A = this chain, B = another copy of it.
Amino acid sequence: MSVTATIRIQEADFDVAQEIAALSKGRTDVGAVVTFSGICRGSENGEPIAALTLEHYPGMAEAEIGRHADEALSRWPLQGLTIIHRFGRIAPGENIVLVAAASPHRQAAFEAAEFLMDYLKTNAPFWKREESEKGTSWVEARDHDDAAAARWTKP
């Protein structure tokens, strides 16, 4: 069975429920669906945030995420994989990113979703800018995200 990932880089919001349903509806071979939803928080380090703006590198974002989705499909026995990443202005409480993985086995679904989230946090060409009362500033990359991503590197 050949599985193709669904990848969407879009400005519009998305519906997590619809994406889960698309992975498992009408089939009876899926035993586990793991989803990760990343949501815009209303404050960072105690300071209120009015919105995030996500800039991305069109073309490279799709290609890079596609390569990592293919890697996940080859490393874990997945039956479906959906990755959605938004760009543009995103208000607190709104979705930023979704990874949903379907598998006969729970561990595979968990690991694939974690692998892809660690990748998206560190190497997908997206950049977050925060708007607060003090003005706007680019979010800085965090070392512990790099460490999380390094877990998956094959020796």
A-side interface residues toward B, CB under 8 Å? 15-18, 20, 24, 26-43, 92-93, 104, 106-107, 109-110, 113-114, 117, 121, 148
- Give Cα A38–Cα B114 distance, bound, in whole angstroms: 18
Total copies of the chain: 2
Q: DSSP class of A's interface residues: helix, strand, loop or mixed?
A: mixed
Question: How far apart are A100's CB and chain B's nearest CB, in angstroms?
Answer: 9
Which residues of chain B are near A110, meaning CB under 8 Å?
Answer: 36, 110, 113-114, 117
B43 x A148 contact (CB < 8 A): no
Question: How far apart are A35's CB and chain B's nearest CB, in angstroms?
Answer: 5
Query: Looking at A29, A39, A42, A107, which has the most chain B CB atoms within 10 Å of its CB?
Result: A39
A39 x B32 contact (CB < 8 A): yes
| 23 A-B pairs with C-beta separation under 8 A | A15-B17, A17-B18, A20-B35, A20-B37, A24-B39, A24-B93, A27-B93, A28-B41, A28-B92, A28-B93, A30-B39, A30-B41, A31-B39, A32-B37, A32-B39, A33-B35, A33-B37, A33-B39, A34-B34, A34-B36, A34-B113, A35-B37, A106-B121
